Homo-oligomer: A and B are copies of this chain.
Amino acid sequence: MTNPTAAMIVIGDEILSGRTRDSNMHYLAQELTKIGINLCEARFIADDPAAITATVKQLSASYGTVFTSGGIGPTHDDITADSVAAAFDTPIGVREDAYQLLRAHYDRQGAEFNAARQRMARIPDGAALIDNPVSIAPGFRIANVNVMAGVPAVFEAMVASVLPTLTGGAPLLSQSLRIQRGEGEIAGPLATLAAQFPDLSIGSYPFQKNGIYGANIVIRGQDGAQVDEAMAQLAGLFPA
C-alpha cells in the first residue's frame, strides 16, 4: 500500500481508567479511510508529560501525519500543548491571534477572560492554528502533528478543518459478504482465494450473537475490478 500514513494519540487518564469510552479514534479512522489515508497505529496514553512528549516524537518521525486528541483545555490537567512543544524543542507562549479570538468570544458571552482561559491561547512557536467552530479555543498543527480537543463534538469539527489540508491517496474500495458458517469451514478456501489475489486484503471477522454464528468476509483493495472478481469467486464458494 503506497497511500499516505497516519497515526493517532489519544491522551487521557479517564479513558485508560475505563471511566470514559473514547469515540474519537473510531471517528478519525472512518474519515481517514474515506480519503485514502492509512491509519497505521493508535496509542492511548496517560496524562503524563514524558509519555506525551516521547510518543509524539516517535510517531511524528514514523508516519506522514499524526493526530492527538485531549488535554488542551483550561484546567491544570491540560498538559498536551506544553508536552508537544517539548517534543519539538520549541518555546510555547500566549499567541496574539489565539488570544484575540478567545477574548472576542468571552466578550460576546459576557464572561470573564481569566487566566485559565488565557492559557488556551498558549501555542508552540511556529505552529498553525486549527479552527474550532464549536467552542473557539483553537487546536494547532506543528510539523506533521495536529493537536486537537478531546470533547467529541470539538474533535470532529477540528478534523473537518484539517482533512481538506491533507493529501489523500487512492480510496480503499471494500466489499463484504456475511457467511453463516463457522470460520473453521471457511478458512481453507478463503486462504486459497487470498493467495490468488496478493494485492487485495481479505479479512475474516467472526461474529456470534443469539446463537447465530459466522463471519463477515471483507475484501479491500485499490483496484475495483480485482475486488469485484474476488468477491464473485467468494460468493461462488459460499452460496447463500
Contact of A205 among B20, B23, B186 (CB under 8 A): B20
How far apart sit A134 and B183, CA to CA, in the bound complex (Å)? Answer: 15
Within 8 A of B (CB), among A145-198: 151, 153, 172, 174, 182-188, 190-191, 194
Inter-chain contacts of A75 with B (CB < 8 A): 183, 186-187, 190-191, 204, 215
The answer on a CB contact under 8 Å between A29 and B33 is: no
How far apart sit A157 and B21, CA to CA, in the bound complex (Å)? Answer: 20
The answer on a CB contact under 8 Å between B46 and A40 is: yes
Inter-chain contacts of A207 with B (CB < 8 A): 151
- Interface of A, secondary structure class, is mixed
Q: How many residues of A contact B (CB 8 A)?
A: 72
The answer on a CB contact under 8 Å between A187 and B18 is: no
The answer on a CB contact under 8 Å between A44 and B25 is: yes
Inter-chain contacts of A39 with B (CB < 8 A): 16-18
The answer on a CB contact under 8 Å between A32 and B45 is: no
Instruction: Please choose the segment from A81-89, A111-119, A227-235 that sits at the chain B interface, where 4 or more of its residues have CB less than 8 A away.
Output: A111-119
The answer on a CB contact under 8 Å between B13 and A208 is: no
Within 8 A of B (CB), among A34-49: 39-47
- Name 13 A/B residue pairs within 8 A (Cβ), A-sorted: A13-B203, A17-B220, A18-B32, A18-B33, A20-B205, A22-B26, A40-B46, A41-B45, A44-B44, A73-B187, A77-B204, A116-B185, A117-B184
Residues of A within 8 A of B (CB): 13-23, 25-33, 39-47, 51, 73-78, 106, 111-112, 114-117, 119-120, 134-135, 151, 153, 172, 174, 182-188, 190-191, 194, 201-208, 215, 218, 220
Which 5 residue pairs of A and B lie closest in terms of their CB atoms, listed nearest first? A116-B187, A18-B29, A18-B30, A117-B184, A76-B191
